Structure 1
């Protein structure tokens, strides 16, 4: 297979994981990340990948500036939803003609928002992976890793490269429904894990939590239906089953708060609240969780003295 030139814009846990797999498969990968990660990658001459299948150093390029997307064929856009427009504007002037951009982000509207900034189509991607940055330049894979990708006439080489790298990747014409289904999962586990500082297994096993989960899901389903999205009948079952498949995982929102960073909660539960208000649907449980996470952003837990 011919080596592809790929940039990962916003290389946090998700971007580093897929970038590392592609680099290990022989492709030229540039991670565009925060200075602390870039410095660590340069010092240790590669990204440290920790997974069940492989643990070790993966040689990759690293940069802090969006101009590093020059001349690449494919961009995996992995920034937080809050940074979509700003990162897109930074990247727009440097994209090569014909470069294909994938949005590997939480939320349901990032591909459209990014496409408006770039002035070109963006492929929406649903990401099913548990990963975390264990330290600067060190990504830890905790489970799963599948990708569901929207159609594009020119991205067959990237699909093949990911499959060859061991990623279960599937192209679909119905990514919008899958993005909404992922949004429901995120509206449950992201805020609950963040406000309790618990991983999914202990969280769901706690008294009363399952009923709260049911309430969150019902509000999300009501908003989805009013938005013209029909989610599968087993949506609640899949939400409840996730804790068993990722019992040790803490949500990305919990990880953000632990690092003192702003979360994506406005684009998760906040999005449901916003859409519910627009459609005349009450979403009190999502509103409460959205509010609690925003409070935690301002007043983080303090470690005991």
Structure 2
């Protein structure tokens, strides 16, 4: 790795989460390094509104891929491989890759491309962030974050400590894939239903959604358990109800993607569960039905 005391970390993907992490980089004393997507230039200025309603304006700095110790990819799941490909050959063979998106799947696509000494990490965040416009983001809620090693060698302690500081965790998750699956259960239950029914998260607390929520959570927890993850149905369902309550006024990211006619992460969320279920011999008929409905909505709109 390059500098042991000041690892160079960059963000690829300046959506709401990407901008929130980029601001966190600056707040932790690191340079707000970013890589543009599709050979575009970086914006001259970003505006971040924190939980205290204080505005912070700052300029992102263009990163040099060959100098990076870690690259955090914050695009939508289906954009990950396309976004990172133009930079792949320029990255150092020991550059750590961190994937921060909803769902799963891109980690399996990237694994064969990794160099022998390259590590791949997964990260999750449940902190609400709202884009008022393209480069103006407000943090609208708090929530758990996790980051951990999925494959590859252990990280240099200085880099691991900096990434833990960036994600505001005391230590790396010992089983990050299980942590991602715990969030995946919530996403499978809430995101597609809010897109299909054109509603805020809180409306799913209505009794008319109870049977569907129970079925969705049951199927996902069964698939997770077949992979050896300790995600019991009762705990998963309680977590879903808690998130519905805590984010009652929010529109899910999938609702926004479908409503704005952008590609959603349905294939990396519900689709991933259905594919894994098929491989493991676990039936997922309700998730399959939901997956089909969202894909039709993406084609046709509300």
Distance 1:163 1:107, change over 3 A: closer
Distance 1:278 1:100, change over 3 A: closer
Counterpart in the other structure of 1:287: 288
> Map of 1:74-93 to 2, 5 A cutoff?
74-93=70-89
**Aligned counterpart for 1:135 among listed residues 129, 133, 136:** 133
Counterpart in the other structure of 1:153: 154
For 2:237 and 2:191, locate their aligned partners in 1 and report how far apart those are by CA, in whole Å. 16
Does the 8 Å contact 2:274/2:287 carry over to 1? yes
Does the 8 Å contact 2:146/2:167 carry over to 1? no
Counterpart in the other structure of 2:226: 226
Does the 8 Å contact 1:38/1:137 carry over to 2? no
Q: Which runs of 5+ in 1 are unaligned?
A: none
Residue 27 of structure 2 is aligned to residue 32 of structure 1: no
Counterpart in the other structure of 1:101: 97
Q: Displacement, 1:195? A: 1.5
Q: Could you tell me the TM-score, scaled by structure 1's length? A: 0.85
For 2:50 and 2:175, locate their aligned partners in 1 and report how far apart those are by CA, in whole Å. 30
For 2:75 and 2:112, locate their aligned partners in 1 and report how far apart those are by CA, in whole Å. 16
Deviations 1:195-229 (A, max 9, x none): 1222212x223331122111100111122223333
Q: Displacement, 1:164? A: 5.3
Counterpart in the other structure of 1:213: 213
Does the 8 Å contact 1:77/1:103 carry over to 2? yes
Q: Displacement, 1:176? A: 1.6
Q: Secondary structure at the match of 2:168?
A: coil
Does the 8 Å contact 1:194/1:254 carry over to 2? yes
Does the 8 Å contact 1:142/1:249 carry over to 2? no
Counterpart in the other structure of 1:47: 46
For 1:155 and 1:204, locate their aligned partners in 2 and report how far apart those are by CA, in whole Å. 44
For 1:193 and 1:62, locate their aligned partners in 2 and report how far apart those are by CA, in whole Å. 37
Q: Displacement, 1:165? A: 6.0
Q: Secondary structure at the match of 2:229?
A: coil
Q: Displacement, 1:38? A: 5.8
